[in-house]
């Protein structure tokens, strides 16, 4: 969960695109707008309205749909308010009425006395629930910042990491020149969404599509190469560690053993690429991206090569290739 305090007022002020817009407005209990939303989930308080408060999830946003609104009207007609008073004895973050439904007068008065915000949306209950959970998953997602460059190559999100000056930005610039897209340079904010997806974006939206090229300075990628060369965020599907060539280090030449990097509890495939003069890093990274896509489709070139070599040895073809018919042991 995010360390930042998220309030009902923050929820109202969210500027979301059309497919995520919550269409919320406050219709009462404005004194409670600074209340914190600490649980990124919703609750349908039908049982609480009937008087059953065992395991009542009062810390969640309370959503009133058609059934709850009809039961409120029934309580109003029968002049039964004890359950409503018990409901507002809990410190509820806020109550949301879907489909532009209105609370009863008794409910409104009790909410005002308890300083509980009353919100209203024009969305139906199911649509609002789906959108709110999606919004909460982004807001409350665990996050951190990493030093690197995030690019999209052939649809694969690749995080380039390495020591300062190893050539991350220059490599990313060449990839953009070859038609791929930049997500963020230097500082990348990563978030774990739904527990198994790591999304990356620029830590600062104002400078995320700028790059620092040593000897050249700061450049604006979107202005130089057009809006088709940038992207706001992308799932990190591969980590490429750039490092200076070490003649004493044994580098993987087959690729059979897959390495992973743990990012916020998610294991992301990772590879090490040594840097030395004459190596064309953009082409190597493009090949790594296409190879990663093949793996997602169930095709592992290194594993198939290893299996073919083992079959070749088992069939005796390897022996005949090295020994003639006249050779004896």
Q: Catalytic residue numbers?
A: 147, 168, 186, 253
* Burial of 326: CB neighbours in 10 Å, binned 0-12, 13-18, 19+: exposed
The residue length of the chain stands at 329
Where are any strands of DSSP class E within the chain? 24-28, 42-43, 61-64, 95-97, 118-121, 143-147, 149-153, 156-162, 181-184, 187-193, 197-202, 210-213, 217-220, 233-235, 238-244, 259-263, 266-275
Distance CA 299, CA 294 (A): 5
240 Cβ contact partners less than 8 Å away, ≥ 6 residues apart = 158, 159, 160, 161, 270, 271, 273, 285, 288
Q: Which of 130, 131, 110, 108 is nearest to 119 (CA)?
A: 108
Q: Where are the alpha helices (DSSP H) in 178-280?
A: 221-225
Cα 1 to its chain centre, rounded Å, is 13
Separation in Å, CA 161 to CA 210, 241, 327:
17, 5, 53
For the chain, the distance separating the N- and C-terminal CA atoms, rounded to the nearest angstrom, is: 69
8 A C-beta contact, residue 22 and residue 132 = yes
8 A C-beta contact, residue 188 and residue 203 = yes
């Amino acid at each position: 969960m995010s360390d930042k305090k998220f309030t009902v007022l923050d929820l109202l002020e969210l500027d979301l695109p059309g497919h995520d817009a919550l269409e919320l407005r406050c219709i009462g209990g404005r004194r409670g707008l600074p209340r914190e939303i600490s649980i990124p989930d919703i609750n349908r308080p039908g049982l609480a309205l009937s008087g059953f408060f065992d395991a009542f999830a009062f810390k969640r946003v309370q959503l009133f749909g058609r059934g709850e609104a009809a039961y409120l009207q029934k309580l109003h007609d029968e002049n039964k308010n004890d359950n409503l008073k018990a409901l507002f004895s809990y410190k509820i973050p806020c109550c949301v009425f879907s489909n532009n439904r209105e609370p009863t007068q008794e409910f409104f008065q009790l909410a005002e006395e308890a300083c509980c915000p009353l919100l209203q949306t024009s969305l139906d209950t199911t649509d609002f629930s789906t959108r709110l959970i999606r919004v909460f998953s982004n807001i409350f997602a665990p996050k951190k910042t990493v030093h690197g460059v995030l690019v999209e190559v052939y649809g694969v999100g690749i995080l380039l990491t390495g020591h300062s000056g190893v050539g991350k930005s220059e490599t990313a610039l060449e990839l953009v020149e070859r038609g791929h897209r930049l997500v963020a340079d230097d500082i990348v904010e990563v978030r774990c969404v739904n527990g198994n997806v790591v999304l990356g974006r620029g830590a600062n939206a104002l400078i995320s599509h700028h790059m620092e090229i040593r000897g050249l300075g700061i450049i604006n990628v979107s202005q130089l190469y057009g809006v088709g060369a940038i992207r706001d965020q992308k799932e990190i599907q591969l980590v490429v560690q750039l490092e200076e060539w070490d003649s004493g280090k044994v580098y993987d030449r087959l690729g059979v053993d897959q390495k992973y990097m743990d990012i916020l509890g998610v294991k992301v495939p990772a590879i090490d690429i040594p840097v030395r003069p004459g190596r064309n890093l953009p082409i190597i990274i493009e090949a790594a991206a296409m190879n990663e896509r093949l793996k997602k489709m169930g095709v592992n070139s290194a594993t198939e090569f290893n299996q073919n070599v083992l079959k070749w040895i088992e069939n005796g073809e390897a022996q005949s290739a090295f020994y003639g018919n006249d050779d004896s042991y």
